[in-house]
Structure 1
Amino acid sequence: MVTLGLYYAAADWLDQRYFRFLIWNLFLGWIPFVFSYVAYGFSHVKWKGATWFAVASGLLWLLFFPNSSYIVTDLVHLTARSSRYYGGGNGLDYKYWYDLIVVLMFVWTGLLLGFLSMYQLQEVIHHKLGRWVSWIFVLGGCALGSYGVLLGRVYRLNSWDALTNRETLVELMHESVSRPSLAFCMFFGMFILTVYATLYYLINTRSSRDRKTEVGSSEADLQGLR
């Protein structure tokens, strides 16, 4: 809400609506979170068919997961519009800072949605298959997510092309096999993994501290009763 509010408020004030396409991209970024939430919910349901629904939701999550981090590549539009930001010999125009902040807000929201969606699925896999398998899932998700961003940004494919335009998808996947593509996937995948691992560590460090505090309080209460 803050991201959209900032965009609309500043867009009306400065009469700049160039980045309205980010709203659509952010909507696509919400889709993997919805599927991960559904998968997480079904994983806790005691029903025979729930597992299949959870798996199906997980596969759909993987299909749309690249959309959550794709917004990072929208920073390229700042470069494309760079000629608008200089003039009058006073350095950068104030509109540059508006555009930068708006794009960064969308980027942060997209990354956060991607983190939350992957975190939910990792929790499911951790509970079902163990810790190491859950981290293998994270590594695979980051690798495939970065490849999806490559297909989207460089080859202009969409997630639903896997269902509606498979021939073109296969053709462009063959075309994408190259050293520059591999380098892009490695660097972007490492970027996603670093963001995820950082937020994961921060959340779990706090959770561990809270658990220790609760245990310490419980022990103190027991000693007081004695």
Structure 2
Amino acid sequence: MKELNYGKVFMLLAGLSLATLGVYRVVSLRTDTFYDFLLWNFFLAWIPFLFSSAAYMLDKRKVGGLLLLPLGIAWLLFFPNAPYLMTDLLHLTARKSIYIVGGEVQSRFWYDLVTLLLFTWSGWLTGFFSLYQFQNVICRKSNLVFSWIFVFAACALGGYGVLLGRVYRLNSWDVLTDRHQLYQLVEDSLNRQSLFFSLFVAVVLLVIYTTLYFLLNGLGSGGSRRAYARGGKS
């Protein structure tokens, strides 16, 4: 498994985020500020990357081993905020009367659609890089197979977290501040429709993440064999 250049990844994500915010600023000045809530959701999507970066750097320097578990738990609580951004596309339907007037699609629909897609892409990419960092940590601590088991579990819990956030309006911090509500929501969400939705989102996350993984690792270009030949981990 290929190591990340943290500086380059951070600059990429920071540049993409600034571009996303810039596009939103231009669009909001031309239309309205209805989508201001995206700024908060986008901030929440960055939090798991901060946790994973801390764990990644600590493990790489072989310090702070006792902090990896709490960082991992915190990361897992906030990770669903990244894929959650996709569900904000719902508001395009809710505002249909503004976008379609007299049977014609207004130009602001395209402005808002592109803005929402850009926020979604930026948030997902940030979340997936955070997952890659934690998979790298798990791989160094154990092996590649176990790291993929972690990925499957993270995507499954991420899909369930999106369900709790969008359908049941649960926030990441409610796990710590309102456990009674959490237990009630978990009980209410244990039905066939909710489980199918969670599984569907989990599969989508896994498909996209796997694509990113193989792009980062050279699509099987032989790097792993060279690593094993040197006696290192892949």
TM-score normalised by length of structure 1: 0.88
Structure 2 distance, partners of 1:206, 1:179, is: 37
> C-alpha offsets along residues 47-78 of structure 1, whole Å, 9 cap, x if unaligned?
4xx11112211110001000011000001000
Equivalent position of 2:21 in the other structure: 4
1:36 paired to 2:49: no
> C-alpha offsets along residues 174-214 of structure 1, whole Å, 9 cap, x if unaligned?
010000101101111111111101111111126847x59x9
Q: Kindly state the Cα deviation for residue 114 of structure 1 after the two structures are TM-superposed.
A: 0.8
1:197 paired to 2:210: yes
Q: Which residues of structure 1 form unaligned runs of 5+?
A: 215-226
- 1:52-71 aligned at under 5 Å gives the runs 52-71=66-85
Cα separation, partners in 2 of 1:205 and 1:112, compared to 1, 3 Å: same
RMSD: 1.8
Segments of 4+ moved more than 4 angstroms = none
Equivalent position of 1:76 in the other structure: 90
Q: Give 1 or 2: higher helix fraction.
A: 1
Deviates more, 1:97-106 or 1:36-45: 36-45
Percent pairwise identity:
49
Structure 2 distance, partners of 1:152, 1:11, is: 25
Structure 1 distance, partners of 2:216, 2:99, is: 39
Q: Kindly state the Cα deviation for residue 127 of structure 1 after the two structures are TM-superposed.
A: 1.2
- Secondary structure at the counterpart of residue 181 of structure 1: helix
> C-alpha offsets along residues 115-135 of structure 1, whole Å, 9 cap, x if unaligned?
100000001111111011000
1:180 paired to 2:193: yes
1:161 paired to 2:177: no
Equivalent position of 1:150 in the other structure: 163
Q: Which residues of structure 2 form unaligned runs of 5+?
A: 1-17, 227-234
More RCO (CA 8 Å, sep 6+): 2
1:105 paired to 2:122: no
Q: Aligned residue pairs: how many?
A: 209
Structure 2 distance, partners of 1:102, 1:39, is: 31
- Secondary structure at the counterpart of residue 218 of structure 2: helix
